């Protein structure tokens, strides 16, 4: 009886290479050609192993992020679909939060609608509608994603966009506002998010900027996990894509992000 091929040892080698690059604070660069993913499936296989290595010090997976959730960002990087990444336990912070610029190569913040699940969305139930997601959501909250592009050359990224998946979509955590359980009275597609850095407005967007609706973004994450034989679980947090273009931060900056009807979230950089 034929057997399926075992894990590709290159994926573990690629994950270890990424871990060492992060540990040495190396500038972002594509994976060596012999380790580079040739498909999205390979890129996510590397991501799985990279996240497992990081989880040894940062804690287990407690949620997920969406990268490149808008056509404009997809075109910028040279892909035609979003990308998923994992959130690790110790990298989630409650607002107000403080981080140190020195802990990152080049600190980025994004401005998002966050969701905390109250029920599972198991793989067996895929595909998932917006209504199915709504029935499983426990709370909605404002969130800031913390990311680190490690001074990447974006021309390199456009040539090798799958490497972003392998590198867990550059996620370094999130800052979460207070979770609101009474979100059903809101039109989440129309809520306005407003971002400020050092008291100055730097952009705004609507919930519909997250793949048409924040819950459509959650459905996309759940479908992605189902394709890997996994489910989105009760208690998981999903940050659904930035409503405002990414901002680079430095020591001394203060970030405020508010969502109409959902409150606000704050981050200070030392």
Residue 98 has a pLDDT of: 98
Tens of pLDDT, residue by residue over 211-223, are 999 999 999 999 9
Considering the domain boundaries, does residue 213 fall inside one?
A: yes
Q: Is the pLDDT of residue 95 over 70?
A: yes
Tens of pLDDT, residue by residue over 217-262, are 999 999 999 999 999 999 999 999 999 989 999 999 999 999 999 9
Considering the domain boundaries, does residue 89 fall inside one?
A: yes
Residue 87 has a pLDDT of: 98
Instruction: Centre a 10 Å sphere on the Cβ of residue 219 and count the other Cβ atoms it contains.
Output: 24
Tell which wins on pLDDT, 2 or 179: 179
**Best CA proximity match to 210, nearest among 92, 118, 111:** 111
Sequence-distant (6+) residues with CB within 8 A of 66 are 82, 83, 84, 85, 210, 211, 217, 220, 221, 238, 239, 240, 241
Residue 106 region by backbone torsions, left for phi larger than 0, else alpha for psi between -120 and 50, else beta: beta
Q: Is the pLDDT of residue 126 over 50?
A: yes
Structure tokens at 119: 């029920």
Beta bridge partners of 248: 108
- Whether the upstream peptide bond of residue 12 has omega within 30° of 0, thus cis, is no
Considering the domain boundaries, does residue 83 fall inside one?
A: yes
Q: Which CATH number characterizes residue 135's domain? A: 3.90.850.10
Over residues 129-151, mean pLDDT: 97
Q: Is the pLDDT of residue 179 over 90?
A: no
**Best CA proximity match to 253, nearest among 204, 199, 173:** 199
Residue 149 near residue 172 (C-beta atoms within 8 A): no
Query: Distance between CA 26 and CA 84 in Å, rounded?
Result: 23
What total number of domains does the chain contain? Answer: 1
Q: 3-class secondary structure for 32-55?
A: CCCCCCCCHHHHHHHHHHHHHHHH
Tens of pLDDT, residue by residue over 180-221, are 878 999 999 999 999 999 999 999 999 999 899 999 999 999
Considering the domain boundaries, does residue 44 fall inside one?
A: no
The percentage of the chain sitting over the pLDDT mark of 70, rounded to a whole number, equals 97
Considering the domain boundaries, does residue 249 fall inside one?
A: yes
* Whole-number average pLDDT of the chain: 93
Query: Distance between CA 106 and CA 100 in Å, rounded?
Result: 11
Q: Is the pLDDT of residue 1 over 50?
A: no
Domain with 238 in it: 61-269
Q: Is the pLDDT of residue 67 over 50?
A: yes
Considering the domain boundaries, does residue 49 fall inside one?
A: no
In degrees and rounded to multiples of 5, residue 250 shows phi and psi of -140, 170
Query: Distance between CA 56 and CA 43 in Å, rounded?
Result: 20
Tens of pLDDT, residue by residue over 18-66, are 999 999 999 999 999 999 999 999 999 999 999 999 999 999 999 999 9
Considering the domain boundaries, does residue 95 fall inside one?
A: yes
Confidence of residue 6 (pLDDT cuts 50, 70, 90): low
In degrees and rounded to multiples of 5, residue 88 shows phi and psi of -105, 150
Q: Is the pLDDT of residue 177 over 90?
A: yes
Considering the domain boundaries, does residue 25 fall inside one?
A: no
């Amino acid at each position: 009886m034929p057997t399926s091929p075992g894990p590709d040892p290159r994926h573990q080698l690629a994950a270890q290479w990424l871990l060492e690059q992060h540990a040495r604070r190396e500038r972002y660069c594509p994976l060596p050609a012999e380790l580079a993913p040739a498909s999205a499936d390979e890129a996510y296989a590397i991501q799985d192993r990279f996240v497992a290595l990081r989880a040894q010090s940062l804690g287990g997976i407690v949620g997920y992020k969406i990268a490149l959730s808008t056509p404009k960002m997809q075109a910028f990087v040279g892909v035609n679909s979003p990308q998923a990444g994992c959130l690790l336990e110790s990298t989630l912070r409650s607002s107000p939060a403080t981080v140190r610029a020195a802990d990152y190569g080049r600190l980025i913040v994004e401005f998002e609608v966050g969701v905390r699940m109250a029920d599972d969305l198991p793989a067996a139930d895929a595909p998932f509608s917006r209504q199915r997601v709504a029935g499983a959501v426990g709370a909605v909250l404002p969130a800031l994603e913390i990311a680190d592009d490690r001074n990447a050359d974006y021309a390199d990224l456009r040539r090798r966009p799958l490497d972003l998946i392998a590198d867990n979509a550059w996620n370094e955590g999130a800052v979460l506002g207070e979770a609101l359980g009474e979100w059903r009275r809101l039109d989440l597609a129309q809520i306005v998010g407003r971002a400020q850095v050092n008291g100055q407005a730097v952009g705004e967007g609507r919930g519909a900027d997250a793949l048409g609706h924040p819950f459509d973004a959650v459905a996309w994450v759940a479908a992605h996990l189902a394709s890997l034989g996994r489910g989105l679980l009760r208690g998981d947090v999903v940050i659904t894509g930035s409503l405002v273009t990414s901002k680079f931060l430095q020591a001394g900056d203060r970030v405020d992000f508010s969502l109409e009807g959902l409150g606000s979230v704050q981050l200070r950089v030392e």
